[in-house]
Amino acid sequence: MVGEMKRMFLLAWAALFLPALLFAQEKIEAPAWNVGDKWVFTGEGTIEVVNADQNSYALNFSDGIFIYETQGYNTIIFGKPNLNRTHYLDGEKRKKYKMGLSKIFDFPLSTGKQWKYGFSSGALFGPMRGRESFDYAENFTVLGKEEVMVQAGKFKAIKLEYKRITTGSSGWGGGSVGMEIKHHYWYSPDAKYFVKCQYDKDWVQGFKEVFNWELTSFHLKK
């Protein structure tokens, strides 16, 4: 009798928790984007797939809305299969992408996955914008999966933590060395893009160009 009760308890536990455990361990593969896929965000920001070939996708970001996400570029090339940023368009010419968030996507994604990237650039914000050079280290960690509610609806998403540390500078920016910012992204396989971003509130207080955003609507071509 005791053995039977124990077996029933284990079966009940497996039925309740095993799907959640498998969901947490599941690898999220890179989405297949199509020309015409479009996402609209708070702040009237839009992202649209404008070209696709065997090796890459070209995404167009609206002017001035996602200044941090675009790193100053309007059209960014994402390489297959991991969707790392490889190039940007300068007019009709492809040029090597060397700015931040190069590996904001690094598919496949799974809970606990970590990766790093380093880059150098001029200041994007504030009085030293474009006149100061900084070295940065970026650290990415997949925290886990959770449901998130945004204006476009409720989504099962994978939560990504982003940390950026200033490791060096030239000119007058030495006081920024060691500064760390942290924010979070929520990626939805159903929406095929991030549905929400929440910045370090202490960091964005002085930069009106940067604000938290979320998905308001999207359209995916078939």
Asked whether 30 and 109 are in contact (CB, 8 A), the reply is no
What is the C-alpha to C-alpha distance for residues 163 and 102, in angstroms, rounded to an integer?
13
pLDDT surpassing 70 at residue 84: yes
Q: How far apart are CA 213 and CA 62, in angstroms?
A: 14
Q: What is the dihedral of CA 204, 206, 209, 212, to 10 degrees?
A: 20
Instruction: Summarize pLDDT for 121-168 with one digit per residue, the tens.
Output: 766 655 555 567 788 999 999 999 999 999 999 999 999 999 999 888
Domain boundaries, the chain: 28-219
pLDDT digits (tens, 9 = 90+) for 11-32: 554 444 444 443 455 899 999 9
The predicted pLDDT at position 5 comes to 56
Separation between Cα atoms, residue 194 and residue 121, nearest integer Å: 24
pLDDT class for 8, splitting at 50, 70, 90? low
* 156-182: burial string, b at 16+ Cβ within 10 Å, e else: ebbbbebebbbeebeeebeeeeeeebe
Residue 176 confidence (pLDDT): 76
Determine phi and psi for 150, rounding to 5 degrees: -130, 180
**What would the mean pLDDT of 207-216 be, rounded to a whole number?**
83
The CATH number assigned to the domain with range 28-219 reads 2.40.360
The number of beta carbons lying within 10 Å of the beta carbon of residue 198 is 15
Whether 104 shows a pLDDT value over 70: the answer reads yes
- Percent of the chain at pLDDT > 90 equals 59
Most confident of 62-66, 157-161, 177-181: 157-161
